[in-house]
Amino acid sequence: MPPSYPPALIPFLPLLRCPACGAPRLDPDRGALRCPAGHAFDIARHGYVGLLTGARATSGDDAPMVRARERFLAAGGYEPIRGAVARLATARPAGPGTVLDAGCGTGYYLAAVLDRLPGAHGLGLDSSARALRSAARAHDRAAAASWDLFRPLPLADRAADVVLDVFAPRNPEEFHRVLRPGGRLVVVRPTARHLAELRRRLPGAVAVDPDKERRLHRALDPYFEAARTERVEYRLSLDAEQAADLVGMTPSARHLDASGAGPGAGPVTVSVLATVYRRRPAPVGPAAPRTGSTRTPPP
């Protein structure tokens, strides 16, 4: 393997599938991955693989959103959520395995899970090229690739032991397909209390859909059964810059005025539900629509 290829990508070469034709193999070839039919996917100089070619993603954090996210997360504001994700994903360690982070962003949560699974390898998928630059550097055992989660995942059947879905779109049918028997899905989503103070101080900010939980369970129930749920709720005292970053890393960023003025300093409530789901052997009852919700705001 030439040194230009990210080492973390090597374990995934047998698991990736060609997004163009479904060929069951992608091989390294002069700075790209190529399938037997000749479809090629460049490896960016930042270390991630551009699998999402010839198609427009449905969403993707832009550079200002990613910079705001990096600053906020580096300050530790979501460290309790990160810890809950890592605990739930590794509560029943089965030795070395494969972790898929669907909608990985900067790789913040994937890195925490890999820290608790010394023999595991991770792959983060996201539609934001700017976020993937960070995800490719988040952990020495984490690879990253561009992808749209509303499409079938470019992975073999039963390729993953754990799937993470943290404030991200959901594709239940595909999550079920790529999880191995006994695998687990960890889903994190906000409650109605999440960042309520910021929304009150910023009229027009994106609200949490009150029907979210019902829709979540309706979509997942044919494929997964809930095993355990943790509510992670705590208060943060934010200065004005931290509050602006917290808003700026979400779709509510467009409600900041042209001067960059945000909601101002003050306390906020962080409130999310983190659930680990067990994979059902086969779908039960009528299957939900193939694609999941849009990215869950605000993260």
At residue 33, what are phi and psi to the nearest 5 degrees?
-110, 135
Q: Could you report the per-residue pLDDT of 251-264, keeping only the tens digit for each?
A: 776 655 544 556 77
Q: Which band of pLDDT confidence, cut at 50, 70 and 90, is reported for residue 295? A: very low
* 48 to 124, 147, 177, 224: CA distances (angstroms): 9, 11, 24, 30
Q: Could you report the per-residue pLDDT of 131-182, keeping only the tens digit for each?
A: 999 999 999 999 999 999 999 999 999 999 999 999 999 999 999 999 999 9
Q: Which band of pLDDT confidence, cut at 50, 70 and 90, is reported for residue 271? A: very high
pLDDT at 199: 84
pLDDT at 257: 52
pLDDT at 78: 97
Q: Could you report the per-residue pLDDT of 199-248, keeping only the tens digit for each?
A: 888 776 777 788 888 999 999 999 999 999 999 999 999 998 999 899 88
More confident residue, 269 or 94: 269
Give the C-alpha separation, 49 to 39, whole Å: 13
pLDDT at 62: 85
Q: Which band of pLDDT confidence, cut at 50, 70 and 90, is reported for residue 297? A: very low
* 31 to 17, 49, 144, 155, 270: CA distances (angstroms): 18, 10, 15, 20, 42
Q: Could you report the per-residue pLDDT of 34-63, keeping only the tens digit for each?
A: 999 999 999 999 999 999 876 555 556 888
pLDDT at 298 over 60: no
Give the rounded percent of residues in the chain with a pLDDT score beyond 70. Answer: 86
Mean pLDDT of all residues in 119-125: 96
More confident residue, 147 or 92: 147
Ramachandran sector of residue 134 (left: φ over 0; alpha: ψ -120 to 50; beta: rest): alpha
Buried b / exposed e along 207-231 (16+ C-beta atoms within 10 A): ebbeebeeebeebbbbbbeeeeebe
Ramachandran sector of residue 171 (left: φ over 0; alpha: ψ -120 to 50; beta: rest): beta
